[in-house]
């Protein structure tokens, strides 16, 4: 396959395309530098002549390049994903066709871990609920009910990668006991590896989910795992909505089988089931990495990957599956 870098002529219009909405400043740079083509939401409406021009797609975890879209782009060479999670892109097809895929690890780890801590503190201490209580003028007639101590609790981290480890380090500063579950125990960490998600939930006051999304982890946190948390246990999810069985979570909350949940991600974003909007659930609109600083760093890394590819240089952050390409 011809690489952009082998092309001596200027980049043909339409070579770089955008799938789904992106950060405003990233869209502007792509427009200014590459006259980017915006791909339609419905792949059936994509003109085959336009599709044939596309050699690079810039996207985000929200949209990705799913199977049908990738199949419709015969000359695609690279997908640069804004975000560390790339479960919406068909990586198996990319590997099979020799298409590069990049993402933005590390630069968002701290903000996502901060969000997990915020959710954990909120589900234990109910700061959001107590603030609503004050704003509603209810403090005039009663004090806010007592809550639960987070410091010194047992935190179970499901997925101890970049973000999971950053969560564990932060929770350890609150004197929490850290347990974790991964498929393979992690070297050189001081925390106990627990073999299964059910066992992890059973031994934890709060289970915090930090595994990748996608088919391999879909429904990993099922009814059995959720119930294992017990009536005093909390669930926090900053990973992907697909990892948690949302119906089972709702049933456990409604049945009083767990104490509450803190969620930054949902199965069908931006739709949040009415039955999840409860006082014992803290709900965030997928803001894990949503700070000016981190989104800027994610934009810069997305562009660095695209520019490196165009220049024929090594990609800064290919996804791990690219070692097979
Ligand atoms: P990472 O470094 O690749 O870590 C993933 C961890 O999950 C690894 O420890 C991995 O260990 C473990 N894991 C994978 N499959 C598992 C399974 N079936 N059971 C148990 N553990 C499993 O990824 P990261 O950078 O920490 O990011 C994690 C995820 O966070 C991303 O993929 C993304 O979906 C999500 N995220 C969310 C936001 C947000 O805004 N809320 C922002 C950024 C990222 P093993 O391979 O040994 O199992």
The residue among 130, 93, 158, 57 whose CA lies nearest residue 279 is: 130
**Rounded-to-integer distance, Cα 193 and Cα 110, Å:** 22
295 CA to centre of ligand 1 in angstroms: 19
Confidence of residue 8 (pLDDT cuts 50, 70, 90): very low
In sequence order, the 6+-apart residues with CB closer than 8 A to the CB of 201 are: 156, 207, 225, 226, 228, 229, 233
Instruction: Indicate which residue of 269, 293, 313, 321 is catalytic.
Output: 269
* Range 255-270 average pLDDT: 98
3-state class of 223 per DSSP? helix
Predicted pLDDT of residue 56: 98
Q: At what angle do helices 127-135 and 109-125 cross, to 10 degrees?
A: 60
**What number does the ligand 1 atom closest to the CA of 288 have?**
40
Report yes or no: 39 and 69 within 8 Å, Cβ to Cβ: yes
**Rounded-to-integer distance, Cα 225 and Cα 211, Å:** 15
pLDDT of 218 higher than 60: yes
**Rounded-to-integer distance, Cα 172 and Cα 107, Å:** 22
3-class SS letters over 106-136: CCCHHHHHHHHHHHHHHHHHCHHHHHHHHHC
**Rounded-to-integer distance, Cα 42 and Cα 38, Å:** 12
Q: Is 264 in the pocket of ligand 1 (CB under 6 A)?
A: yes
Predicted pLDDT of residue 260: 98
The residue among 4, 149, 152, 184 whose CA lies nearest residue 76 is: 4
321 phi and psi angles, rounded to 5 deg: -65, -15
pTM for the whole thing? Answer: 0.96
For the chain, domains (ranges, CATH) are 4-105+292-324 (3.40.50.720), 109-283 (3.40.50.720)
**What number does the ligand 1 atom closest to the CA of 109 have?**
25
3-state class of 272 per DSSP? coil
Report yes or no: 171 and 194 within 8 Å, Cβ to Cβ: no
CA atoms within 13 A on the CB side of 178: 20
Taking CA atoms only, the protein residue closest to ligand 1 atom 36 is: 239
* Range 1-16 average pLDDT: 64
Q: Is the peptide bond before 270 cis (omega within 30 degrees of 0)?
A: yes
**Rounded-to-integer distance, Cα 93 and Cα 158, Å:** 28
182 CA to centre of ligand 1 in angstroms: 9
pLDDT tens digits, one per residue of 139-183: 999 999 999 999 999 999 999 999 999 999 999 999 999 999 999
Confidence of residue 323 (pLDDT cuts 50, 70, 90): confident
Confidence of residue 12 (pLDDT cuts 50, 70, 90): confident
**Catalytic residue flag (residue 286):** yes
**Rounded-to-integer distance, Cα 286 and Cα 289, Å:** 8
**Rounded-to-integer distance, Cα 39 and Cα 86, Å:** 18
Confidence of residue 13 (pLDDT cuts 50, 70, 90): confident
pLDDT of 186 higher than 70: yes
**Catalytic residue flag (residue 184):** no
């Amino acid at each position: 396959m011809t690489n952009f870098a082998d092309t001596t002529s200027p980049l043909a219009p339409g070579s770089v395309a955008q799938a789904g909405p992106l950060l405003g400043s990233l869209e502007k740079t792509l427009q200014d530098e590459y006259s980017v083509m915006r791909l339609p939401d419905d792949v059936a409406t994509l003109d085959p002549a336009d599709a044939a021009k596309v050699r690079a797609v810039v996207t985000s975890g929200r949209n990705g390049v799913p199977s049908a879209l990738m199949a419709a782009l015969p000359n695609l060479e690279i997908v640069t994903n804004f975000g560390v999670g790339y479960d919406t892109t068909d990586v198996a097809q990319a590997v099979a066709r020799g298409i590069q895929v990049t993402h933005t690890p590390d630069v968002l780890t701290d903000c996502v871990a901060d969000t997990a801590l915020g959710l954990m503190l909120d589900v234990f201490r109910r700061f959001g609920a107590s603030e609503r209580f004050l704003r509603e003028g209810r403090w005039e007639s009663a004090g806010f009910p007592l809550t639960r101590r987070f410091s010194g609790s047992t935190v179970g981290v499901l997925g101890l990668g970049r973000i999971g480890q950053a969560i564990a380090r932060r929770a350890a500063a609150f004197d929490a006991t850290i347990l974790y579950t991964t498929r393979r125990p992690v070297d050189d960490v001081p925390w106990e590896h627990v073999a299964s998600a059910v066992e992890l939930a059973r031994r934890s006051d709060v289970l915090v989910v930090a595994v990748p999304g996608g088919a391999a982890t879909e429904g990993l946190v099922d009814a059995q795992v959720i119930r294992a948390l017990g009536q005093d246990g909390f669930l926090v999810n900053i990973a992907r909505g697909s990892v948690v069985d949302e119906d089972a979570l709702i049933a456990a909350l409604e049945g009083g089988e767990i104490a509450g949940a803190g969620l930054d991600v949902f199965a069908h974003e931006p739709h949040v089931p009415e039955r999840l909007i409860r006082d014992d659930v803290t709900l965030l609109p997928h803001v894990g990495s949503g700070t000016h600083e981190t989104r800027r760093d994610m934009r810069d890394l997305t562009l660095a990957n695209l520019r490196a590819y165009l220049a024929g240089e090594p990609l800064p952050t290919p996804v791990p599956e690219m070692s097979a390409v």
